[in-house]
């Protein structure tokens, strides 16, 4: 007898495994209550987890993951540096490699933060809060400081919050509690103790933001922290000046004869000459290695830099020894000069032992932070375009201006004839009887061209420098230092 076995048929459903991952209802919303746009979608038909890639039309991408089917909501980038410009492409890949995509558009939002920072003088434990009147916000792809208010407000409100206690330190109208400086900066009237603060500033009656062009701008607070360290106080600025003695007419740099001949002292000379510094150590020096530098950065001589009050009588508030290089750069440890004074407006003056000193005609804003203003102040007294105090305070030299040389007696007046004239000082230095004598290898105020020798006649003599300073035709003329 035969046994008949049942025939089992395996029928495969051709539709199993053909289900496709899908994105439904992809949309993006944004408002100033948040710091990033919100993306929402429904993910179906695939195998979780889903890998999501959002890519803006500007090429910036952000990534996320959903562990389940159904509704998924997430923050997409931000309103700052990872801002995705509309339209946004969404690519989704599930666990089995199924891919799908969708796109959506939305109103792009940008954060606008006030450009605020703290400054202080080195003798104070309290700091001053400043606002430049401008904002930082993204220019797609980068951050830009010093930008105009996107909502073009005409008046402003502010709030300062202590980040540690989350208490409001001060709030109100900017015009009432801040002082507008001549350079357009605002200074908060109350000095602040050391701490971390959040500062918000927005147009009156526009606390949230506004539409400007294609973007919605959202006002946010800016974090600002005081710096109690020795490096977190004072001022920094750059300065350039030319001395007429070692700079021949028609040239573009000074000579460095004192350095070449080994005559430039390592310590500042002005204390020994009777000058009293204000606020800085009386003796400062350089290392011998500094004298080995050649070329445009070679040292020419010591000078004195003074910071004076912006208003008459323009009293000296701080002074310090410095050196000038052949290219006119003034240096101490570098070309970035530092003082411990409070940020503010100051007249800047320079003195030299046998040149007539001078002072700027206007006050310069000097502070510690160049971030908003673009750079540190640069006081170029070698440029004829920089106004100076008084009349005829510098000697013209082509595209440059120099300190008047020839004050061999260091009395603030260059004289060729008459009582206490500078010509006789040179004649006496070489002995008085033989005009052709030369006194060599000296560091002396009567060496007015700074070549290391005192000469009355012959090539490169010092007497002719005096004659040129007073005009060259009328021996009784004088040139008077223009310092208050």
Q: Is the peptide bond before 87 cis (omega within 30 degrees of 0)?
A: yes
Average pLDDT over residues 234-249: 96
Give the per-residue pLDDT at 14: 37
For domain 111-229, the question of CATH label 3.40.50 is answered with no
Please say if the pLDDT value at position 334 is more than 50.
yes
pLDDT at 288: 95
Q: Residue 144: pLDDT band by 50, 70, 90 thresholds?
A: confident
| Mean pLDDT value across residues 404-411 | 98
> What pLDDT is stored for residue 141 in this prediction?
64
Residues 6+ apart with CB under 8 A from 471: 477
The domain defined by 22-104 carries CATH number 3.40.50.11030:
no
**With 70 as the cut, is the pLDDT of residue 372 above it?**
no
Check if 22-104 and 111-229 are the same fold. Answer: yes
Does 272 have pLDDT greater than 80?
Answer: yes
pLDDT over 90 (residue 365):
yes
Residue 191's CB is within 10 A of a number of other CB atoms, namely 14
- Under the banding of pLDDT at 50, 70 and 90, the label for residue 449 is very high
**In the structure encoding, which two tokens stand for residue 56, read together?**
């803006």
Query: What letter does residue 4 receive in the DSSP assignment?
Result: P
pLDDT, residue 420, reads: 95
* pLDDT tens digits for range 186-208: 999 999 999 999 999 999 999 99
CA angle, 441 as apex, 435 and 445 as ends, to 5°? 70
Where are the domains positioned within the chain?
A: 22-104, 111-229, 234-484
User: What does pLDDT average to over the chain?
Assistant: 92
Q: What is residue 367's DSSP assignment?
A: B
CA separation for the pair 367, 120 (Å, rounded): 9
pLDDT tens, residue by residue, 36-82? 999 999 999 999 999 999 999 999 999 999 999 999 999 999 999 89
């Amino acid at each position: 007898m035969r046994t008949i076995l049942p025939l089992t048929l395996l029928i495969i459903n051709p539709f199993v495994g053909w289900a496709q991952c899908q994105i439904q209802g992809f949309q993006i919303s944004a408002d100033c209550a948040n710091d990033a746009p919100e993306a929402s979608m429904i993910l179906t038909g695939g195998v979780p987890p889903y890998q999501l890639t959002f890519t803006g039309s500007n090429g910036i991408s952000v990534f996320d993951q959903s562990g389940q089917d159904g509704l998924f909501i997430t923050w997409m980038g931000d309103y700052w540096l990872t801002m995705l410009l509309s339209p946004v492409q969404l690519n989704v890949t599930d666990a089995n490699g199924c891919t799908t995509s969708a796109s959506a558009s939305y109103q792009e939002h940008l954060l606008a933060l006030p450009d605020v920072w703290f400054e202080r003088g080195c003798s104070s434990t309290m700091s001053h809060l400043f606002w430049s009147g401008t904002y930082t916000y993204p220019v797609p792809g980068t951050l830009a400081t010093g930008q105009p208010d996107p909502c073009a407000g005409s008046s402003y409100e502010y709030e300062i919050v202590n980040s540690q206690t989350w208490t409001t330190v001060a709030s109100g109208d900017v015009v009432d509690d801040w002082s507008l400086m001549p350079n357009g900066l605002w200074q908060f009237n109350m000095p602040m103790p050391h701490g971390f603060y959040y500062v918000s500033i927005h147009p009156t009656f526009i606390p949230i933001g506004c539409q400007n062009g294609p973007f919605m701008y959202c006002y946010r607070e800016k974090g600002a922290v005081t710096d109690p360290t020795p490096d977190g106080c004072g001022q920094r600025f750059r300065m350039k000046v030319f001395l007429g003695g070692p700079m021949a007419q028609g040239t573009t740099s000074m000579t460095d004869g004192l350095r070449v001949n080994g005559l430039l002292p390592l310590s500042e000379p002005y204390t020994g000459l009777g000058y009293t510094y204000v606020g800085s150590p009386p003796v400062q020096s350089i290392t011998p290695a500094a004298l080995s530098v050649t070329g445009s950065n070679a040292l020419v001589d010591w000078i004195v830099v003074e910071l004076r009050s912006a208003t008459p009588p323009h009293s000296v508030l701080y002074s310090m020894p410095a050196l000038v290089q052949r290219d006119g750069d003034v240096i101490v440890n570098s070309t970035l000069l530092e003082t411990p004074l409070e940020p503010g407006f100051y007249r800047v003056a320079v003195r030299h032992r046998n040149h007539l000193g001078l002072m700027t005609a206007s006050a310069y804003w000097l502070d510690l932070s160049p971030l908003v203003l673009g750079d540190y102040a640069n006081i170029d007294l070698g440029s004829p375009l920089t106004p100076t105090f008084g009349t005829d305070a510098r000697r013209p030299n082509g595209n440059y201006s120099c300190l008047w040389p020839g004050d061999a007696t260091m009395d603030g007046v260059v004289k060729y004839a008459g009582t206490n004239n500078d010509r006789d000082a040179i004649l006496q230095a070489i002995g008085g009887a033989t005009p052709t004598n030369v006194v060599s290898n000296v560091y002396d105020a009567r060496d007015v061209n700074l070549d290391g020798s005192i000469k009355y006649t012959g090539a490169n003599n010092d007497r002719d420098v005096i004659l040129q300073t007073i005009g060259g035709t009328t021996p009784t003329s004088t040139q008077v230092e223009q310092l208050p």
